[in-house]
Amino acid sequence: MDFGGINPAVLVASLMVASVPIMLAAIGELVVEKAGVLNLGVEGMMIMGAICGFITAVQTGSPVLGFVGGALGAAALALVFAVLTQVLQANQVATGLALTLFGLGLSSLMGQGYVGIKPPLTGQVPFGPLADIPVLGRIFFSHDPMVYLSIAIIAAVWAVLKFSRMGLILRAVGENHDAAHALGYKVTRIRILAILFGGAMAGLGGAYLSLVRVPQWTDGITAGAGWIALAIVVFASWKPWRVLVGAYLFGGISVLQLNLQAAGARIPVEYLSMSPYLITILVLVIMSSGKGRASMSAPAALGQNFHAAR
């Protein structure tokens, strides 16, 4: 069951783990952008989630509380963004970039006393005999709870956006905030809630990095994962299940190239490293040309500020 010296079951299992942080951050950003807000501060929110989650987990000894703390910490940073852009009408692009820089600095400050400490361990979900099934057991039944939770969140976001009244309102706000306002929906309030959700998701992703995947705190732990999450949202053309595909693709190729190297395969590393970005460009070109154009489906009011007086 080996392919070029690599066991595919092991590869799939590790790409599922590697993709969790970017998947969570991307699904959060998807909801934010569906509501018509462009928050470029994902990287900053992720790293705030990483440090807040780490501190909470170390202080309480509970990984679960750690994840909650990470989500809350990042949501608090997202609230800053929400106040600036939704209440004070600041430019979303500039505010988002500032949020990233602020998050990186603040997390470094908060993490001063937490370098070199080991967080409490997050265990696997006990599936009992299921985990011993060859191949499938390794792929599906040998992970920590966050792997399953992240997939559940994708499904939930998909269902809410597609089938519920709440999803319809959110999309209306993102497509045409003036019309939504005229119908009596509270555009600003809905957008602030979406931004907070996006922050919490980015925080969960960041906490996953510092509590499970690396598990430790070091300055700059996210190392650009937030930007990849932003790219995945565009790659996924704002569709939840495609976020899952995109995250597995990006995470998978990064894991694959390391595994290929470890297995001694003679494939130039550089080509594999750039392939996700090549695919993104390719998808964008195909989607934005001719008939595919409609399916591109960027929210029409994306990045535009809304003020009820206008």
Interface residues with other proteins (CB under 8 A) are 5-7, 10, 14, 18, 21, 108, 111-112, 115-118, 209, 213-216, 218-223, 225, 254-255, 258-259, 261-264, 266, 268-270, 273
Gap between the Cα atoms of 168 and 161, Å rounded: 6
* Nearest-approach distance from CB 228 to other proteins, in angstroms: 11
* Nearest-approach distance from CB 39 to other proteins, in angstroms: 22
Compare residues 134 and 270 and give the one whose CB is closer to other proteins: 270
Compare residues 83 and 263 and give the one whose CB is closer to other proteins: 263
Distinct helix (H) and strand (E) counts, the chain? 13, 0
Gap between the Cα atoms of 252 and 21, Å rounded: 13
* Nearest-approach distance from CB 1 to other proteins, in angstroms: 13
Phi, psi of 6 (to 5 degrees): -115, 135
Exposure of 281 in the CB half-sphere (CA atoms within 13 A): 4
Compare residues 108 and 305 and give the one whose CB is closer to other proteins: 108
Helix axes 42-60, 187-208, angle to 10 degrees: 60
Compare residues 18 and 287 and give the one whose CB is closer to other proteins: 18
Burial state string for 20-55 with b = 16 or more CB within 10 A and e = fewer than 16: bbbbbbbbbbbbbbbbbbbbbbbbbbbbbbbbbbbb
Compare residues 12 and 169 and give the one whose CB is closer to other proteins: 12
Compare residues 116 and 290 and give the one whose CB is closer to other proteins: 116
Compare residues 220 and 292 and give the one whose CB is closer to other proteins: 220
Strand partners of residue 3: 6
* Nearest-approach distance from CB 213 to other proteins, in angstroms: 6
Query: Residue 224 to residues 25, 41, 52, 147, 221: CA-CA distances in angstroms?
Result: 12, 11, 18, 21, 9
* Nearest-approach distance from CB 75 to other proteins, in angstroms: 22
* Nearest-approach distance from CB 154 to other proteins, in angstroms: 21
Burial state string for 157-179 with b = 16 or more CB within 10 A and e = fewer than 16: bbebbeeeeebebbbbbbbbbee
- Give yes or no for a contact between 295 and 237, defined as CB atoms under 8 angstroms apart: yes
* Nearest-approach distance from CB 32 to other proteins, in angstroms: 23
Gap between the Cα atoms of 284 and 238, Å rounded: 12
Q: Dihedral of the CA atoms 286, 291, 294, 295 (nearest 10)?
A: -50
* Nearest-approach distance from CB 215 to other proteins, in angstroms: 6
Compare residues 160 and 263 and give the one whose CB is closer to other proteins: 263
